[in-house]
Amino acid sequence: LTEVTGPVPIPGDGEALVRLAYLSIDPTNRVWMREEDSYLPAIPIGDVVRAAGLGVVVESRNEAYAVGDLVMGLLGWQDFAIVDSGEATAQVIPPGLAPTDILSIYGSTGLTAWFGVHDVAAVREGDVFVVSGAAGGVGSVAGQLARLAGARVIGIAGSAEKCRWVTEDLGFDACIDYKREDVGARLAELCPDGIDVYFDNVGGAILDAALANLAIGARIALCGAISSYTAAEPPAVRNTFELVSQRARMEGFLLLDYVDRFPEAVMGLLPHVLEGRIRYAVEVVDGLERAPETLNRLFTGDHTGKLLVRVSDVAD
């Protein structure tokens, strides 16, 4: 990554200038940095790193944006961004929510958990629900939503402290420390009748262990596979025959496909958050220059919940 300095861009006709306030630090930023295209084209060498962010309009030549509007979109790792009102640039956010909430519980993190739990996995009363990346942004919310839907919830996370947080503070029923415990053996112990829903954030060996412990008719919501994002070779998954023998369904999903339904998820999350039934952690790191090291923390696991970078205090 190279830091580039230049003059603040001047908005043309139909454009607006946005001053960045916060960046959302997401595993998918790393996916977009790979050489090959994924569900979006790879970021070309020399381009600004693509990332979701929130900022304030400081100059506008587009009637969709007024100076002072709070906007969210793929604003990138930069101090200022030019936006237009074309597809997928920046949406104006109505006032009333804290910027850090807009990029966490009411942003891609909370919304991904919502659609994964309710839509893809269709969690119901009595399900045994297992989630990996359990102390991360998406996983911590997914587990709580599943519990509110009546499931017994088991997390998988990378330290004893993370396991303590999800069980004692968030109300998960159990948690497996995958760095110190045998995940397959612990899943067999904790889910003697098998897993009804596995919400997968990590892929690889942990997905394999979950596949080996499915209940008949299990559903697997494939949300992410962070164990493969920086690997030279994607880790092998061996236990796919279990899908056949357990008549199970495994389905990937992308939040991008739910854009029209975002208001439904925000309205669904709001009462749970306001009434304290869902808790979440957000850590804000100051300074755009710290975005690369903050992104790396998603891969070392050196954080709990959602990571944001504060680029300026313009929205505080």
- Interacting residues with ligand NAP (CB under 6 A): 26-28, 108-109, 112, 133, 135-139, 157-159, 162, 201-202, 206, 223-227, 253-255, 298-299, 301, 303
Exposed / middle / buried, residue 259 (Cβ in 10 Å: 0-12, 13-18, 19+): exposed
Bridge-based pairing of strands 195-200 and 282-286 is unpaired
**Interior/surface letters 276-314, b for 16+ CB within 10 angstroms, e for the rest:** eebbbbbbebeebeebeebbeebeebebbbbbbbbbbeb
Nearer to ligand NAP by Cβ, of 38 and 245: the residue is 38
Alpha-carbon dihedral sign for residues 133, 266, 53, 14: positive
State in angstroms the smallest separation of the CB of 109 from ligand NAP: 6
Nearer to ligand NAP by Cβ, of 11 and 224: the residue is 224
Nearer to ligand NAP by Cβ, of 64 and 153: the residue is 153
State in angstroms the smallest separation of the CB of 94 from ligand NAP: 23
Nearer to ligand NAP by Cβ, of 65 and 258: the residue is 258
State in angstroms the smallest separation of the CB of 95 from ligand NAP: 25
User: Helix (H, G, I), strand (E, B), or coil: what is residue 165?
Assistant: helix
**Amino acid in the structure at residue 231:** A
User: Helix (H, G, I), strand (E, B), or coil: what is residue 147?
Assistant: helix
State in angstroms the smallest separation of the CB of 16 from ligand NAP: 27
Nearer to ligand NAP by Cβ, of 65 and 280: the residue is 280
State in angstroms the smallest separation of the CB of 303 from ligand NAP: 6
Nearer to ligand NAP by Cβ, of 62 and 304: the residue is 304
132 alpha carbon, distance to own chain's centre? 12
Tell me the H-state helices in 149-224.
160-164, 183-190, 204-211
State in angstroms the smallest separation of the CB of 194 from ligand NAP: 22
